[in-house]
Structure 1
Amino acid sequence: MSTPENTPQPGYYNLTPAQFSTEIRQPGAVLLDVRRPDEFAQGHLPDAVNIEVTAPDFAQRVAALDKAAPTYVYCRSGARSAKAAEQLAQAGFTHVTNMLGGVLDWPEPLTMR
Structure 2
Amino acid sequence: MFNFFKTKPKNYIDLGAEDFNKGMKEKDAVIIDVRTVGEFQSGKFKGARNIDMMSPSFTAQVQNLPKDKKYYIYCRSGNRSGQACDLMADMGFENTFNLAGGIMRWPFEIV
Q: What is the TM-score when the length of structure 2 is the normalising length?
A: 0.90
Q: Specify the alignment match of 2:106 in structure 1.
A: 106
Whole-Å separation in 1 of the counterparts to 2:108 and 2:10: 29
Whole-Å separation in 2 of the counterparts to 1:44 and 1:64: 22
Q: Specify the alignment match of 2:63 in structure 1.
A: 63
Q: Please list, as runs of the form range in 1=range in 2, the aligned pairs for 1:21-40 lying within 5 A after superposition.
A: 21-40=21-40
Deviation at 1:63, TM superposition (A): 1.0
Q: Which amino acid aligns with 1:56?
A: P
Q: Please list, as runs of the form range in 1=range in 2, the aligned pairs for 1:6-25 lying within 5 A after superposition.
A: 10-25=10-25
RMSD: 0.8
Deviation at 1:10, TM superposition (A): 2.2
Q: How many residues align?
A: 103
Q: Which has the larger radius of gyration?
A: 2
Whole-Å separation in 2 of the counterparts to 1:32 and 1:78: 12
| SS of residue paired to 2:61 | helix
Deviation at 1:67, TM superposition (A): 1.2
Q: Which amino acid aligns with 1:54?
A: M
| SS of residue paired to 2:97 | strand
Q: Specify the alignment match of 2:5 in structure 1.
A: none
The list of structure 1 runs, each at least 4 consecutive aligned residues, that deviate by more than 6 angstroms after superposition, is none
Gaps of 5+ in 1: 1-8
